[in-house]
Amino acid sequence: MADTLNFPGGPVDAGLIDDLVAASRILAKHGVLDAWGHVSIRHPANPERYLLSRARAPALVSADDIMEFDLDSNPIDQRDRRMFVERFIHGQAYKARADVNAVVHSHSPTVIPFSVTGEPLKALSHIASFLVDEPPVWEIRDVGITQGLLVTNNEQGGSLARTLGNKPVALMRGHGNVVVAPDIRRVVHRALYTEINAQQLVTALSFKRPITFIAPDEAQDPKRLDDSWEVWKAEVMG
């Protein structure tokens, strides 16, 4: 494998692109991404650019599919490749948050019921500590009716980014969620454990007893994610 891959914004470490491809497949394998949804990274050498697959199912993404966009989500070198209509979610998140270098948009199945009921999706497990504050729920109708609830322009993407604020996760009513992190491995961790924490919370809520959530003074994101990454990547990258 080449050491670097060429992109318009400058060469990118091939291992990072390999991680981006793996991220897409990992989240598909674990059921967080269905046949749609997408994972991106900020260009490591060029903060006004981000890298995202051309439009195709996450389980099938490979390095050749990765395209470069500016933060208004214009393609830098489109070459007839079809693009995700919802890429504005990514561009606006990078524009609003200098600390964000990786973004996931998914239809995470157990998160959607929280998005339509107002039931707070808070951390009950230490491994989902990033959910210690209740994630906000974005209502797309607040920026006007849109058929299909899709985020197809910068105005909608910007509204979503404002709802996200400085949080790691925002729910999108009747649609899914957006997850951000400082790097690709952490965004995969967060996207996966948002779904798993949701599943466990559904169960805990069924008991109709008070729930002890993770407290602010004990919340801590896992510091080291190499071990989980090793096994998740091994399962999808042959």
Task: Please give the full DSSP string across 33-56, using - where no structure is assigned.
Answer: S-SS-EEEEE-TT-TTEEEEE-SS
In the complex, least distance from residue 167 CB atom to a second copy, rounded to whole angstroms:
19
Number of residues near a second copy (by CB under 8 A): 60
In the complex, least distance from residue 86 CB atom to a second copy, rounded to whole angstroms:
11
In the complex, least distance from residue 202 CB atom to a second copy, rounded to whole angstroms:
6
> Judged by CB, which is closer to a second copy: 56, or 167?
56
Nearest CA among 188, 224, 226 for reference residue 108: 188
Q: Is 75 in the site for a second copy (CB under 8 A)?
A: no
Q: Is 222 in the site for a second copy (CB under 8 A)?
A: yes
Lateral strand order in the sheet of 66-70 = 66-70, 49-53, 38-42, 102-106, 176-181, 169-172, 137-138
Sign of CA dihedral 26, 177, 43, 54: positive
- 139 catalytic? Reply is no
Cα–Cα distance, 92 to 102 (Å, whole number): 12
Binding residues among 94-153 for a second copy as defined by CB under 8 A? 107, 109-110, 112-113, 116-119, 124-127, 129, 140-141, 145-150
Q: Is 183 in the site for a second copy (CB under 8 A)?
A: no
Among residues 68, 86, 134, 139, the one annotated as catalytic is 86
Q: Is 217 in the site for a second copy (CB under 8 A)?
A: yes
Q: Is 16 in the site for a second copy (CB under 8 A)?
A: no
Neighbours of 177 (CB within 10 A): 28
Q: How far is CA 175 from the centre of its chain?
A: 14
Task: Please give the full DSSP string across 223-235, using - where no structure is assigned.
Answer: S--HHHHHHHHHH
Neighbours of 109 (CB within 10 A): 14
Contact with a second copy (CB under 8 A) among 16, 59, 76, 143:
59
Residues binding a second copy (CB under 8 A): 34-36, 55-57, 59-60, 107, 109-110, 112-113, 116-119, 124-127, 129, 140-141, 145-150, 173-175, 196, 199-207, 209-214, 217-220, 222, 227-228, 230-232, 234
The set of catalytic residues is 86
